[in-house]
Amino acid sequence: MIALTQFGVPLMVAFVALQWWAPGERPHVRHVTISAGLSFLLGLGINQVVLLLVDRVRPYDAGVSHLIIAPSADPSFPSDHATAVAAIVAAFCCTGLGRRTAILALGALLVMWSRVYVGTHYASDVLGGMATGFLAAVAVRLVYREGSRLDRLATGIF
């Protein structure tokens, strides 16, 4: 579980980045890859605002859990890890990339579970992070449209 907590998000980001060169419907896959990256960044940006408003003590500081990784200095709610992986999965949902979405969803569930298991988050922190990630992905989907001029420019790189 410690390895999932430490390396889960970077591995998911690497998996998404590698999709840029994946065979298949290249412009579509590249659009989804960019959407996932934008959702990831927007979700973490939203989290920074929420963290300022909701100063929730981490479970190990409250004596509710035993921490089995290095402590974190920032507040507990919402979970940045959950936000990041949920934003990625949400960006891949409903795109026709079923196998990739399933792999990412499984990875996301494992990462989110690991955050509670290692004692650094409450389950509600993870649920809040999921909500933030999905919100970010929906916002990106509404603004960054597949086939738009910007999309054609961005997906045509390399």
Range(s) of the domain holding residue 82: 2-155
Lowest mean pLDDT among 74-78, 85-89, 126-130: 74-78
pTM of the model: 0.89
pLDDT at 98 over 90: no
Q: Name the more confident of 55 and 134.
A: 134
Q: What is the 3-state secondary structure (H, E, C) of 38-56?
A: HHHHHHHHHHHHHHHHCCC
**Residue 68: band (very low, low, confident or very high) from pLDDT cuts 50, 70, 90:** confident
Structural domain tally of the chain?
1
Helix (H) or strand (E) holding 154: helix 149-155
Helices then strands, counting H and E runs in the chain, come out as 6, 0
CA distance 97 to 153: 22
User: According to the model, what pLDDT value does residue 142 have?
Assistant: 95
